[in-house]
Chains A and B, each alone.
Chain A
Amino acid sequence: MDRKIVLKAQELSKQVSSPEGELTIVDNVSLEIAAGETVALVGASGAGKSTLLAMLAGLDVPTSGHIWLDGQDLTTLDEDARARLRADRVGFVFQAFHLVPSLTALENVMLPLELSGRRDARDIARAMLKRVGLGSRSGHYPRQLSGGEQQRVALARASVVRPAVLFADEPTGNLDTVTGANICQLLFDLNAESQTTLVLVTHERHLAERCGRILTMTAGRID
């Protein structure tokens, strides 16, 4: 059965100016990702993985080409419209966790729900924190949590809005092997539970191999 295409890129390129002249970071990339699919973007440092991820998520705009996220052409949307689309359809997990240091674990998970105006944000976030195993630490601030715990909170925050696509940029890059493996397991479990599409940038081969498809980038192109 053909699955619905949730993410599509067509002839996507990104060039930036540098002292050496124009630099092509992503070079004419086209791809399609179906709903529920898990895709790993791998490649050497500087290959353009993170830039491609940023463009697919609508965080950055391409120099040329088009991106469709859940049927919407991101390149025709302004910054605020892309933000609205992200709020409804996209979740993120970062290498550096990016928790808000002035908010508790619970408040961090509530953040995307509150930005969408959900009145039941607290209850949903509390349940989600419990799901990632941090129910007892909901009142803790990020600096009071270990790296693994912080990434669990970040995972809870990304999953709590039940996004159509979850983007993860080196989600285990800042963690030790054991903790990284636990987080990895949690990521895939959550993904399986909610049937979310997962797009993952990683250097770690074993993490990439757990995905349904691996896209390798070299010098801005997908091999």
Chain B
Amino acid sequence: MRGALILSMRILAREWRSGELAVLSLALLVAVSALTGVGFAVDRIDHAMRLQASEVLGADLRLGSANAINERYAAEAERVGVSSARVTSTISVVLKGDATQLTNVNAVNTGYPLRGRVRVSNVPFGPPEFTDEIPGPGEIWPDSRLLSTLDGQVGDLLTVGAREFRVTRVLISRPDQGSGFVDLSPTLLMNEADLASTELIQPGSRARYSALFSGGQAQMKKFGIWLWNNKGPGDRLGDIAEASAEVNRASSRASRFLMLASLASVLLCAVAIALTARRYVQRHLDLAALLKTLGASRAAVLVVSLGQLACIALIATALGGLFGFLAQKWLLLALRGLIEVELPAADWRPLGLGFVAALMLLVGFALPPLVQLSRVPAMRVLRKDVGPPRMATILAYGPAVATVALLIFWVISGGWLAFWFFVALLIATLVLTMAGLLLVWIASHLRSGAGFSWRFGVANLARRRADSVVQIVALGLGLSVLLLLAIIRGDLVDDWRNQLPQTAPNYFFVNIPPEKKGAFEEFLATRGGKVTRILPMIRGRMIEINGVPITELVKTNPRAEGFGQREQNLTWSDQMGAGNTITAGKWFSAEDAGQPLVSVATEYQESLGLKLGDKLKFDIAGETIEASVSSFRLVKWDSMQPNFFLMFPPGLLEGTVGTYMASAQFRPTDPGSIAQLVRQFPSVSVFDMDDLLAQIRSIIDKAVLAVQSVFIGTLLAGVVVLLAAVQATRDERRYESAMLRTLGASRRTVLTGVLAEFALIGLFAGVIAAAVASLGGFLLATRVLEIPYHPNVTLWFTGAGVGALLVCVAGYLATRSVLSQPPLATLRSG
């Protein structure tokens, strides 16, 4: 065996120098780089996105309670190395002279916020700057709206509860202000140490207490579990998943795409490995037979080839791991401007996973042909036509199918998605095989009627039946994956960008009195603003479902508590609005106006177990209204448009007292415009969404960049497949070309014949790939990534055209050297 190993290394060294194993090495290298690179990058980008998303929460973990925060939590946090801060919020009237304003008072301690930064200015709605401080004792930072309403400025004294505070700065934004409309009141920030002196917190007073926690990933995980197990019954934990649906959706889709792209790269490399292993076997049949003649056992022959492959795997893994690591370094360097948080160090697990994947690929795709190689009879040294005995189908293809299944289930983490992905891949392979056979059949009937070159090329297709089918399957799979990712990437990026177009409303206005609706719209219009949607809004509480009081239902259905018991914002409209999709029933028609009907969001439906036709009774400003459920709506809450859980048809609630809410694009040139608006419409609450939009856009841009980068990796894997497929028949082609040239065919004639063959293979593979990619794209977009799918007719032409062109170019490059060699040299070496 030692002799076999030495021989193995010696042959490897020589074949390495001659470039024999280049494509196989490249395939493994790309596979390992793709897996480790994406592994490293996804890991770290995910952390980065989570960290940045944490800013929306002001922390990694936030605990809210109606009671004062138990001091045990902060003590435990300190013990495990987790930072903590506190926020106490209450509603109070703030006074400046005779002017009063109901205000959301937030008292914070040092350290707030733990993630993200507070922005302040010296004038209301003025140019913002970041600060890492909090108001000092005796100071407050009212927001622009509060200060404008009170007609105050920095330096003024405002009364909060029982004492006066000096305004030292104007609060522009804080990271945890949220995108919801809970905090309808203006807000101010003060030091927690001053809270007691305001006497705002008395027994029975309504206050909301929050504890903020942040720290390293491991500590946070540990602390999160401890907090979950030890929190009081009234304490509620919030994490980034619920802090920002937009960020969460972008993050999860990016992860899914990256995962699919890395899987695609690996599968493409698997195809390349299978092709190169096949060629390796064909080229080493004589050597294996000779070694046996010289006394090598089957095991020794296997050791010779396995030793080489193991060595290549080790080198490819080491280099692939390094490239993967460098690729993610580069990626994160490119993202540096976008990621404003400190990244945790890379986890080394992806490197191990890359090595395991390389081994799996070799065992699944290269081992069966190598075992076959070791079975070649020694008799081949005397008779070239003697090959290895046929292998049982299950042994020949079983390991490859098992490897693909394992890889899919591993990368996708199991489940139905992995199962269907696997089934789809099998079907695609089957379809491509059938298409290959069809092409070969057509080719064998197409020989007459054209010139010699064409006939020669087409005849080759039919003659090399097995090779042609294998090439069509390999190229078809490669092109399918590339086209599929191209479609999905386009749709994904479009969807993200459409989600928050530059024209997305950047202001929300709530509490617009009905009598001032016209004046309000005119105010915005004259200053260049545009109302994108305006809806009436009233507050109401659901009291009964099908005659059963909500209070009774809550006892048996705790999930109903949140939706059933709190006061809701209700609206009415004949327009469903963008970002709403009917899942059951139908939207209000013109005849439904004034009818007691209600359209319900799916969250409500699921929590309360509602069905179409259920009777819901509401208490709206003392009046009771009963309406039956006429439709359910899936609401895209991250569409940045006003949306409601419960919508009624027009003509039913107009009699009740309500206000309007509006979304608008408003980029006033005069910085004082918002202050004017607040003074002219004092009841109107203004929500500046620019900060939140910028935050989300930045995260989405990161996801887009990550997706584009990984796509380049997949393209590289596609090129490897192309090379492998073209190289697969290179030796035979070299011999044929030499023969034809010896018989007098010109270089041009031979080249045209070769190109005709490649063009047909590329064209066929491209057309089938376009079909597979269209179907796959539709399924992936609608079922996995949940984005709109856009059918793309040009894809078919692109697939066929690009397929034919790429294969022709690669074929030309691969055979060019053969054609320029004197025929004798080729015939002698062949």
Q: Interface on A for B, CB 8 Å cutoff?
A: 50, 53-54, 57-60, 79-80, 83-88, 90, 92, 94, 98, 100, 102-103, 107, 111-118, 121, 143, 157, 169
Contacts and interface: CB of A to CB of B under 8 A. Distances in A.
Given A94-B381, A113-B3, 15 more contacts: A60-B377, A60-B378, A83-B295, A83-B297, A98-B286, A98-B290, A100-B287, A102-B10, A107-B10, A111-B294, A112-B295, A114-B3, A114-B7, A115-B7, A117-B2
Contacts of B7: 111, 114-115
A107 B378 CA distance: 20
B382 A115 contact: no
A58 B383 CA distance: 14
A83 B296 contact: yes
B829 A100 contact: no
Nearest to B304: A115
B4 A59 contact: no
A120 to B, nearest CB: 12
B298 A80 contact: yes
B3 A115 contact: yes
A50 B382 contact: yes
Interface in B279-321: 286-287, 290-300
Nearest to B378: A59
A4 to B, nearest CB: 22
Nearest to B298: A80
Given A98-B290, A100-B287, A107-B10, A84 B295 contact: yes
Contacts of A60: 377-379
B18 interface: yes
Most chain-B Cβ atoms within 10 A of its Cβ — which of A84, A87, A107? A87
Contact of A86 (B3, B293, B377, B382): B293
15 contacts: A54-B379, A59-B293, A60-B377, A79-B298, A83-B297, A87-B296, A98-B286, A98-B290, A98-B381, A100-B11, A102-B15, A114-B6, A115-B4, A115-B294, A115-B295
A92 B297 contact: no
B828 to A, nearest CB: 9
Contacts of B15: 102
Contacts of B18: 102
A116 B382 contact: no
B677 to A, nearest CB: 82
Contacts of A80: 297-299
A118 B287 CA distance: 20
Given A59-B382, A80-B299, A117-B2, A92 B10 contact: no
Nearest to B1: A117
A90 B20 CA distance: 32
Contacts, number: 88
Interface residues of B, number: 31
A41 B159 CA distance: 120
A205 B212 CA distance: 101
B14 interface: yes
Contacts of A115: 3-4, 7, 291, 294-296, 300
A114 B9 CA distance: 13
Contacts of A57: 293
Contacts of B14: 102-103
Most chain-B Cβ atoms within 10 A of its Cβ — which of A79, A83, A90, A94? A83
Given A100-B287, A103-B14, A114-B7, A54 B382 contact: yes
B17 to A, nearest CB: 9
Most chain-B Cβ atoms within 10 A of its Cβ — which of A50, A60, A85? A60
B301 to A, nearest CB: 9
A100 B381 CA distance: 12
Most chain-B Cβ atoms within 10 A of its Cβ — which of A53, A54, A113, A116? A54
B382 A83 contact: no
A7 to B, nearest CB: 17
Contact of A103 (B10, B295, B298): B10
Contact of B378 (A83, A112, A116): A83
Contacts of A83: 292, 295-298, 378
Given A102-B14, A102-B18, A111-B7, A116 B295 contact: yes
Given A80-B299, A86-B295, A100-B287, A92 B381 contact: yes
A142 B294 CA distance: 18
A126 to B, nearest CB: 16
Contacts of B383: 50
Contacts of B298: 79-80, 83
